[in-house]
């Protein structure tokens, strides 16, 4: 049981001005595993004032000094890997082994990347009689989600600090305990007071107070498209910069030149890309586009993979490939989509809306596959955020590209083909921020972000760092 009774503001652990608390529920046991303060707009005012006061000094520090802080942050996360992984496994439900690698390991790696990237920034450039300089944008409000909670925090906080910005963080109230661990780590780094601040609470109160605050210079938000549009509305009157990483409905195109073992491997890998973190992944490849004449054979491969490999079980004991969903509300939402798929005529191959028979407790959903899906169906158009895969047949490559792009989203996607150059050509036609070609691995140095309603701006690598910089021209 982790019970936090203070916020982190101006370099100190301080009580909230309010009296409310928020319970954090273990996704597997449905029991309370911790609690946090329910912050207030007054808490946000205090945190923003501290960040504003600290900005002038922190923004003037040498980039080499900031690099040392980022390295220390990476080392601090590494030292608490097991604790972080166990905490997030409880909060989110990812199997512990995966949490150690992804939920704790990835934030450590990402924070470490900025040590070297700071050396690569061209802070000054002469253009004619002008000296063009890059400067930190100011006070940054970071509002983060629950699915990869610490990774999404570090993907914002690390580059913001590296750029010389000061930060006010509001983590998801559903999975916030890891953010308090991070604040403990940062508290031990010796940062000047006010450079980093943590205010926990609910989005409509704390998140909205940050988004509309006149002394916040930039908002970096990750979450649903609906919430992202609300953040933009609130930020607009103060004309602050807004970076948004929002929803996705990514297509994974299996090209028609794949045969035999290559086809089998591509399809099985595609299932894994759809089900990572029980499908609670904004980049999940939830639409598998397959040649119409191979549809039934591919569905057989998928059924075999799902029913024999993607078992569901206790994530704390690594009891299965899939753990529970984050909450009862999310489970209800995902089940409603499964029921909608059946109602609209999609073929239910495996899974379904029922609770797994041997798991009476926990927010579990059976890994579910629909075949013969039309891209106009609800399950093909809306982000479900659960272990639900739609298999969609196509006639030719042009048809596959049309279907892949026929969505309001454009965050990620995949292409598998025997001819890699041909597959890359298809990837170029997909209107999406990232594309995996033949299973290319995640690269924390590559820009991450979306087209269309998947967002604005980029995270990670040098592009993620530049989001937090302004450009000034000094004529001489």
Q: How many Cα atoms are found within 13 Å in the side-chain-facing hemisphere of 444?
A: 20
Mean pLDDT confidence for 308-330: 95
Predicted TM-score (pTM) of this structure: 0.96
Give per-residue pLDDT as tens, 144-171. 999 999 999 999 999 999 999 999 999 9
Annotated catalytic residues are 245, 282
CA dist., res. 430 & res. 251, Å (int): 9
Q: Which of 6-15, 352-361, 402-411 shows the lowest mean pLDDT across its residues?
A: 352-361
- Look at residue 440 and tell me whether its pLDDT is greater than 90: yes
CA distance 120 to 134: 13
Q: Mean pLDDT score of the chain, rounded to an integer?
A: 97
pLDDT in tens, 360-390: 999 999 999 999 999 999 999 999 999 999 9
CA dihedral 356, 357, 362, 364 (to 10 degrees): 0
pLDDT of residue 1: 84
Neighbour count for residue 316 (Cβ, 10 Å): 17
Q: Is the pLDDT of residue 118 over 90?
A: yes
Between the CA of residue 382 and those of 247, 320, 347, 406, what are the distances in Å?
A: 9, 27, 18, 12
Please, which pLDDT band fits residue 321 given cuts at 50, 70 and 90? very high
107-110-115 Cα angle (round to 5): 130
| Maximal C-alpha separation, the chain | 74
DSSP secondary-structure letter at 236?
G
Segment 208-237, tens digit of pLDDT:
999 999 999 999 999 999 999 999 999 999
CA angle 432, 280, 424 (to 5 degrees): 25
- Give alpha helix (H) positions in 217-257: 225-235
pLDDT in tens, 174-188: 999 999 999 999 999
Question: What is the rounded distance in angstroms from the CA atom of residue 474 to the CA atom of residue 280?
Answer: 47
- As a whole number of angstroms, the distance between CA 315 and CA 272 comes to 17
What residues form DSSP beta bridges with 274?
Answer: none
Query: DSSP string spanning 404-464?
Result: HH-SS--S-EEEE-SSHHHHHHHHHHS-SS--EETTPPP-TTS-B--SGGGEES-BSHHHH
Nearest to 261 by CA among 301, 293, 321, 288: 301
- The domains located in the chain, with CATH, are 2-246+453-475 (3.40.605.10), 251-444 (3.40.309.10)
What is the per-residue DSSP string for 182-227?
Answer: HHHHHHTTTPPTTSEEE----IIIIIHHHHT-TT--EEEEES-HHH
pLDDT of 87: 98
Instruction: Please give the Cα distance from 238 to 305 (Å, whole number).
Output: 51
**Residues 35-78: pLDDT tens digits?**
999 999 999 999 999 999 999 999 999 999 999 999 999 999 99
Report which of 159, 185, 182, 186 is spatially closest to residue 171, judged by C-alpha positions. Answer: 182
Closest CA to 36 of 205, 180, 208: 180
Task: Enumerate residues 6+ apart whose C-beta is below 8 A from 210.
Answer: 44, 48, 141, 143, 168, 170, 199, 216, 219
Going 121 to 126 to 127 to 129, the CA torsion angle's sign is: positive
Decide the pairing of beta strands 388-394 and 455-456.
unpaired
Give the mean model confidence (pLDDT) for residues 456-476.
Answer: 97
The total number of residues shown for the chain amounts to 476
Distance CA 440, CA 49 (A): 44
Per-residue model confidence (pLDDT) at position 191: 96
- Could you give the CA distance from residue 179 to residue 171 in angstroms, rounded to a whole number? 7
Task: Check whether 129 has a pLDDT greater than 90.
Answer: yes
């Amino acid at each position: 049981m982790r019970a936090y009774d203070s916020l982190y503001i101006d370099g100190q652990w301080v009580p909230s001005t309010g009296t409310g608390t928020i319970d954090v529920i273990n996704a597997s046991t449905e029991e309370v595993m911790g609690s946090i303060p329910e912050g207030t707009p007054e808490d946000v005012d205090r945190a923003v004032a501290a960040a504003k006061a600290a900005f002038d000094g922190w923004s003037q520090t040498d980039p080499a000094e900031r690099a040392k802080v980022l390295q220390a942050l990476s080392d601090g996360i590494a030292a608490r890997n097991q604790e972080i992984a166990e905490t997030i496994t409880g909060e989110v439900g990812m199997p512990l082994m995966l949490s150690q690698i992804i939920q704790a390991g990835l934030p450590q790696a990402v924070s470490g990347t900025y040590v070297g990237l700071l050396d690569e920034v061209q802070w000054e450039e002469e253009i004619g009689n002008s000296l063009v300089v890059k400067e930190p944008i100011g006070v940054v409000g970071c509002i983060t989600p629950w699915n990869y909670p610490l990774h999404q925090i570090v993907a914002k906080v690390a580059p913001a600090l590296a750029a010389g910005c000061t930060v006010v963080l509001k983590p998801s109230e559903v999975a916030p305990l890891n953010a308090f661990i991070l604040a403990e780590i940062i508290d031990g780094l010796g940062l000047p007071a006010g450079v980093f601040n943590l205010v926990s609470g609910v989005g409509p109160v704390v998140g909205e107070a940050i988004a509309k605050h006149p002394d916040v210079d930039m908002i970096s938000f990750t979450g649903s498209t609906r919430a992202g549009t609300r953040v933009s509305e609130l930020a607009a009157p103060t004309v602050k910069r807004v970076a948004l990483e929002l929803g996705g409905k990514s297509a994974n195109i299996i090209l028609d030149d794949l045969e035999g073992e290559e086809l089998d491997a591509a399809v099985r890998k595609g299932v894994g890309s759809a089900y990572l973190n029980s499908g609670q992944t904004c980049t999940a490849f939830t639409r598998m586009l397959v040649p119409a004449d191979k549809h039934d054979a591919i569905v057989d491969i998928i059924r075999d993979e799902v029913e024999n490999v993607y078992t569901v079980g206790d994530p704390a004991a690594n009891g299965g490939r899939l753990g529970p969903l984050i909450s009862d509300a999310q489970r209800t939402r995902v089940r409603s989509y499964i029921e909608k798929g059946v109602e609209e005529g999609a073929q239910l191959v495996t899974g379904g809306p029922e609770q797994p028979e041997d798991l009476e407790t926990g927010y579990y959903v059976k890994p579910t596959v629909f075949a013969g899906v039309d891209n106009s169906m609800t399950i093909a158009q809306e982000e479900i955020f659960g272990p639900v895969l739609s298999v969609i047949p196509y006639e030719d490559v042009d048809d596959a590209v049309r279907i892949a792009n026929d969505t309001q989203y454009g965050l990620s996607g995949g292409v598998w083909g025997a001819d890699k150059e041909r597959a890359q050509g298809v990837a170029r036609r997909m209107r999406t921020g990232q594309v995996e070609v033949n299973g290319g691995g995640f690269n924390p140095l590559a820009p991450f972000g979306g087209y269309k309603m998947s967002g604005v701006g980029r995270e990670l690598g040098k592009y993620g760092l530049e989001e937090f910089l302004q450009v000034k021209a000094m004529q001489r």
